[in-house]
Amino acid sequence: MTHIPGIVVTGASGRMGQMLIKTITDSDQARLVGAVERTGHDWIGQDVGTAMGGQPLGVTVTDDPLEAFAQAQAVIDFTAPEATLEFAALAAQARCVHVIGTTGMSDEQIAALEPAARHAVIVRAGNMSLGVNLLVQLTKKVAAALDEDFDIEVIEAHHHHKVDAPSGTALMLGEAAAEGRGVNLAEVADRGRDGITGARQRGHIGFHAIRGGDIVGEHDVLFAAPGERIVLRHVATDRAIFARGALKAALWGQGKAPGQYDMVDVLGL
């Protein structure tokens, strides 16, 4: 028996799935013990390393998540909301730490994770990078320190495939600013401006989305007052930052009490 945790990656063929497999196999703190894809996917039955175009890794891609989870200590899951809900129940059954990077979950879907969290550790975050989670904390602090003379605007940029705006991360930053200021984001959010909008409303928080090329993800939080401005900025240049954060969460969750956690807990921010 080894003390190095065994990890299953779901959505193994996806952009994040492949990045996670590389990150885990490059790490000496974790072992890849399973790779899951949806039924009917042409990677099923193939060695995951070979399917990725590299050397065999000794792990066969399966569409039987429970069988894979039974051999693991953690599941890292960047797939889709319905799949993530199914994996949460199975990971709890196998007593695996479930790291959820999947975004776009509805409030009902998030609430439906609760029964699983009574039996296992769930770590869920819309952004797994150290830098963005630190930026969220900084945004809250700066917003709490400044009054409404400082107009807050969140500006984000992403690749041209992105289908939603503002990004989940931009909304996390807006929530942090609103929390720091002690206001409800829903009441003060201005999402994009176009046409004769009238003067900017004092106390509002603006959101702006840029889309183009292969931009991985950039976020600025601007605090602008007469005579000065502060800009907090995060620039992601490589998806590996999300995979590294997810692996850190999987290792952190070992031995923790069942419940729901986020990256702020993992990073001790």
Active site positions, annotated: 158, 162
Sign of CA dihedral 12, 65, 61, 34: positive
Residue nearer to ligand NAD on the CB measure, 112 or 224: 112
| Cβ neighbours of 184 (radius 10 Å) | 11
16 binds ligand NAD (CB under 6 A): yes
- The answer to the question of residue 157 lying near ligand NAD (CB under 6 A) is no
Report the nearest approach of ligand NAD to the CB of residue 96 (Å): 15
Q: How far is the CB of 43 from ligand NAD (least distance, A)?
A: 8
* Given 35, 99, 128, 267, the residue binding ligand NAD (CB under 6 A): 128
Q: Are strands 228-236 and 217-225 parallel, antiparallel or unpaired?
A: antiparallel
Contact pattern from residue 78 through residue 117 relative to ligand NAD, giving x for each residue in contact according to CB under 6 A and a dash for the rest: xxx--x-----------------xxxx-------------
Residue 10 interacts with ligand NAD (CB under 6 A)? yes
Read off the tokens for 134: 């630190």
Among residues 126, 166, 174, 253, which is the contact residue for ligand NAD, using CB under 6 A?
A: 126
121 closest CA partner among 269, 3, 252: 252
- How far is 6 from 247, CA to CA, in rounded Å? 11
Where would I find the H helices in the chain? 15-26, 48-51, 65-69, 81-93, 107-111, 114-117, 130-145, 168-181, 185-188, 240-252, 263-267
CA separation for the pair 261, 110 (Å, rounded):
12
In the complex, the smallest distance separating the C-beta of residue 81 from ligand NAD, rounded to whole angstroms, is: 8
Those residues with Cβ within 8 angstroms of residue 161's Cβ, 6 or more apart along the chain or in another chain: none
Q: Of these, 6, 7, 9, 17, which contacts ligand NAD (CB under 6 A)?
A: 17
When the beta carbons of 10 and 139 are compared against ligand NAD, the nearer one is 10
Interaction between residue 15 and ligand NAD (CB under 6 A): yes
Give the binding site for ligand NAD (CB under 6 A): 10-11, 13-17, 36-38, 41, 78-80, 83, 101-104, 125-128, 242
